[in-house]
């Protein structure tokens, strides 16, 4: 039985189905955390560039 999308679906598990069933609501937790983590990566790179200007 299909569960109602609640944001808990996993991008990796559904990788091959993504072209058909991707929606922000379905993968909300994966997407929010993944984007935040990339923002963190950006902050690290920004800090590194700032260090190089010392």
Interacting residues toward another protein by CB under 8 A: 3, 8-13, 15-16, 29-30, 33-34, 37-38, 40-41, 44-45, 47-49, 51-54
Name which of 53, 7, 14, 13 is nearest 30 in CA terms. Answer: 7
Shortest reach from residue 19's CB to another protein, in Å: 13
Shortest reach from residue 26's CB to another protein, in Å: 11
Name which of 3, 5, 7 is nearest 34 in CA terms. Answer: 7
Separation CA 32–CA 18 (nearest Å) = 17
Shortest reach from residue 4's CB to another protein, in Å: 12
């Amino acid at each position: 039985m299909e569960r109602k999308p609640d944001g808990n679906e996993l991008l990796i598990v559904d990788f091959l189905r993504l072209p058909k069933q991707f929606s922000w609501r379905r993968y909300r937790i994966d997407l929010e955390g993944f984007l935040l983590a990339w923002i963190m990566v950006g902050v690290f790179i920004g800090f590194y560039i700032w260090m190089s200007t010392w």
